[in-house]
Amino acid sequence: MDAITRIKQLGMPRRNNELWTFFPVNKIPNILSADENCRIADVCSSNEDFAYEEDFAALLPIVCNARELVKTIGDGENEMAMLKCNNDFGRTVLNIGKNAKASIEILDNKVMHEICAERFDINVAEGAELEIFFANPANDLPLTFRHFNIKQAAHSTVHFANILQDAGIGRISARVELNGEGANFDYRSLNILKGTASKHQRLTILHNAPETASTQFVRNILDENAYASYDGQVVVGNSCSKVNSSQLVNTILLSDGPSVSVKPVLKIYHDDVECTHGNTVGELDKDQMFYLTSRGIPSDKARAMLTKAFAKELFLELPEGPAKKRLMQVI
């Protein structure tokens, strides 16, 4: 089934669809309508079969005939790269070879568009190590989507890290398939939001092999009328023993206006696993604030010190490399 047929089957996102529970779907222009300036193409340039695809955002770049970039890093190679989409819609296919090591930074699209959507299809071969990261600047792009399809072979490792601090409405979605024994996926996201910023993340991690591991660690620092949501789903197959998976979302509210929504979902079909999830929401620690201010540190500076420490702690466990260095510089 081509992408245009499939997206018409799905229709525009609705709040009663579990993929879009928290997203302000009324802000998405109806690209299926011929009356919209931004609408799907009449003929899809891709001949791939998308009958399996459930996420509207994953199809969006395809049905708008996004230009495709294919990058392959060969077996055993070591490479650093930067990727940037300058158009409304973009698609990137990354093939990471066996035992290769790669560090990929995704640069932000700073061109003003009504809607921007990118799709990344990432194939990570056996024994390969990939870090993929981005630190969006505080721009005003009104509506952005980034979707990731990640497939990992045995004993591969992916570190996926990002910082979101722009002012518009945005959604990051990912479908991760851990298809080989010993595959490991680590996700870390920091949201520093204020004003009317609205950021949403939706991850599905499929443990399709035994002895696989996944982590989802998210931290939010929210002020004014900002809103953040996190929807993380973990599925463990019935033949997948010794799986280890954890989710943890920590949020600091700096005022009375912001809000956060969190929905962890665990679907476990095997007994011999360790899967956990957690969520905390609160203010800055009053005892720590008192300690700092009682030693002559102004309250504004004390607050900044505590929020910065809270943010940096998220990335301390990343391996030394370009991702950790870049993200620590941004905070």
Residue written as tokens 């591969």?
Answer: 156
User: Would you say 170 and 137 are in contact if contact means Cβ atoms under 8 Å apart?
Assistant: no
Token pair for 90: 């973009």
Residue 180's alpha-carbon distances to 153, 177, 293, in angstroms, are: 5, 9, 52
Query: Is the pLDDT score of 139 beyond 80?
Result: no
Question: Angle at CA 37, nearest 5°, toward 35 and 42?
Answer: 75
Q: What is the pLDDT of residues 244-282, one digit of tens each?
A: 999 999 999 999 999 999 999 999 999 899 999 999 999
pLDDT at 37 over 60: no
In the block, tokens 């979101």 appear at 164
Task: Report d(CA 48, CA 226) in Å as an integer.
Answer: 38
Band of residue 35 on the pLDDT scale cut at 50, 70, 90:
low
Query: pTM, whole model, 2 decimals?
Result: 0.94
pLDDT over 70 (residue 67):
yes
The more confidently predicted of residues 43 and 220 is 220
Q: Distance of CA 293 to CAs 107, 213, 298, Å?
A: 39, 42, 6
Distance from the first to the final alpha carbon of the chain: 44
Least confident piece of the model among 107-116, 220-229, 262-271: 107-116
Q: What distance in Å separates the CA atoms of residue 45 and residue 65, rounded to the nearest whole number?
A: 6
Q: Do 211 and 243 touch, CB atoms closer than 8 A? A: yes
Across 35-44, 70-79, 154-163, 181-190, least confident range: 35-44
pLDDT recorded at residue 38: 60
Q: Residue 142: its pLDDT value, please?
A: 83
Predicted confidence (pLDDT) at residue 31 exceeds the cutoff of 90: no
Could you report the per-residue pLDDT of 278-314, keeping only the tens digit for each? 999 999 988 998 899 999 999 999 999 999 999 999 9
How much is the average pLDDT of 311-323? 96
Q: Residue 55, class by beta-carbon neighbours within 10 Å (0-12 exposed, 13-18 middle, 19+ buried)?
A: buried
Q: Using CA atoms, how far apart are residues 116 and 69, in angstroms rounded to an integer?
A: 16
For all residues of the chain together, what is the average pLDDT?
92
Q: Would you state the pLDDT for residue 124?
A: 98
Is 158 within 8 Å of 184 (Cβ atoms)? yes
The pLDDT of residue 168 is above 70: yes
Sequence-separated (6 or more) residues with CB below 8 Å from residue 219: 189, 190, 191, 249, 250, 251, 252, 310, 311, 314
Residue 166 pLDDT level (bands cut at 50, 70, 90) = confident
DSSP string, 65-97: TPEEEEEEE-TT-EEEEEEE--SSEEEEEEEEP
Q: How far apart are CA 116 and CA 114, in angstroms?
A: 7
Residue 47 has pLDDT above 90, yes or no: no
3-state secondary structure of 300: helix
In the prediction, which pLDDT does 329 show? Answer: 93
The confidence band for 112, taking pLDDT boundaries of 50, 70 and 90, is low
| Contact predicate 223/254, CB 8 Å | yes
**Placement of tokens 């018409």 in the chain:** 8
- List Cβ neighbours of 320 (8 Å cut-off, separation of 6 or more): none
Question: What does the domain layout of the chain look like in residue ranges?
Answer: 66-330
The whole-number pLDDT of residue 167 equals 83
Distances (CA, A) of 127 to 73, 78, 102, 243: 13, 13, 12, 18
Question: Residue 137: which pLDDT band, with cuts at 50, 70 and 90?
Answer: low
